[in-house]
Amino acid sequence: MDRNQSRRQVAAMKQSLFDQGLLDEQFIQLEELQDDANPNFVEEIVTLHYRDSSRLITSIEQALKERNPLDFNKLDTLMHQFKGSSSSIGAKKVKAECNLFREYCRAGSAEGCMRSFQQLKREYAALRKKLEAYFQLARQAGPQETACRSK
Amino acid sequence: MESKKSEGESSRSRISALVVDDDAIIRKIHKAMLQQVFNMDAKSVKDGKEAVDLHRCGANFDIIFMDKEMPIMDGHEATKELRGMGVKSMIVGITTRADEKDREEFLAAGSNHCFEKPLNRAKVEQVLHDHPNFPF
């Protein structure tokens, strides 16, 4: 596969992530910060996000097991962090699910939190899988032209 | 608000910025954006107390981007503290939800602006545009 064809595939894959509502404008803002000095900036940020997210998912799972009663303040705090991390990479659907979870925390709904968290994990796993495929293809395609930035 | 522009001192012609956020990813992104897009001299700390301590040691910044919810010292508490110390920097509060209460709290504490996270280019441009003392 020639380089141009690879790059078109990368672009198409990225577009589909937006079309499916998985990513928002923030992802583009991250790409604009990528240049020759920071050629893997986006992937570095996303990798940091995976590290954070894994830790937070484990903590939230643990907190959800500590019933009778659930500590909604603790859950809300953990989800606040998860939302911040997800927002920073433009994870649109994951962010929406974080908001829903926090509403359930405020409403004191244990069942709502459990249900929302399961959905959040599904959204997170789906996005992570697609982003990993995207970055793998992007690495194979080679460096893209960087966005122009005004000085 | 102090201007860092000084003739003959090109290193001081850049706007100095401080990013205050407990999230390491946010600090990395915001710093990179401020440095690369706006050519600011950007530093970062991880909570409001560190920001206050930095100023107590004599640091000064043209603009401070202050997260709202942080451990040890919240953004609006740090803003109140800094204003109480006489810090005249532009302070931009960054919240994680579109909550009018958060915004009001930040503005009441003495911030100049308040935006919902994430901070992006358009929001920084709006802040700089609203304050012509800052050069483009």
pLDDT at residue A30, as a whole number:
92
Q: What is the pLDDT of residue B10?
A: 44
Question: How close, in Å, is residue A65 to chain B by CA atoms?
Answer: 24
In a domain, B134, yes or no: no
Report CA-CA distances (Å) from A134 to A25, A54, A94, A141, B67.
17, 20, 18, 10, 31
Edge-to-edge order in the sheet of strand B113-116:
B41-45, B16-20, B63-67, B90-95, B113-116
Name residue B16's beta-bridge partners.
B41
Residue B114 placed within a domain: yes
* Residues with Cβ within 8 Å of residue A73, at least 6 apart in sequence: A105
CA gap A68, A64 in Å, rounded: 10
- Are residues B77 and B48 in contact, defined by beta-carbon separation less than 8 angstroms? yes
CB distance from A36 to chain B under 8 Å? no
**DSSP of A7-28:** HHHHHHHHHHHHHTTSB-HHHH
> Considering the domain boundaries, does residue B56 fall inside one?
yes
At residue A37, the pLDDT reads 83
What is the value of pTM for the model shown?
0.77
In contact, B62 and B134? CB cutoff 8 Å: yes
Tell me, what CATH number does B45's domain have? 3.40.50.2300
Q: Which domain holds residue B97?
A: 15-129
Q: How far is A150 from chain B (nearest CA, A)?
A: 7
Residue B2 lies in a domain: no
Residues of B with Cβ-Cβ distance to A87 under 8 angstroms: 96, 117-118
Report CB contact under 8 Å: B37, A48.
no
Q: How many domains does chain B have?
A: 1
Measure the CA–CA gap between A76 and A108, rounded to whole angstroms.
10
Say how far apart CA A117 and CA A25 lie, in whole Å. 24
Q: B7 in a domain, yes or no? A: no
Q: What is the pLDDT of residue B102?
A: 86
Q: In tens digits, what is the pLDDT along chain B, a chain of 136 residues?
A: 333 333 334 445 789 999 999 988 989 999 999 999 999 999 999 999 999 999 999 999 999 999 988 889 999 999 999 999 999 999 999 987 667 888 899 999 999 999 887 788 889 999 888 877 664 3
Residue B31 falls inside a structural domain? yes
Which regions in chain A score pLDDT beneath 50?
146-151
Domain-embedded: residue B57: yes
What pLDDT is recorded for position A145? 52
Q: How far apart are CA B91 and CA A7, in angstroms?
A: 42
pLDDT of residue A148: 38
ipTM: 0.70
Query: Which pLDDT value is given to residue A142?
Result: 79
Q: Which of A88, A99, A150 sits opposite B29 (nearest CB)?
A: A88
In a domain, B6, yes or no: no
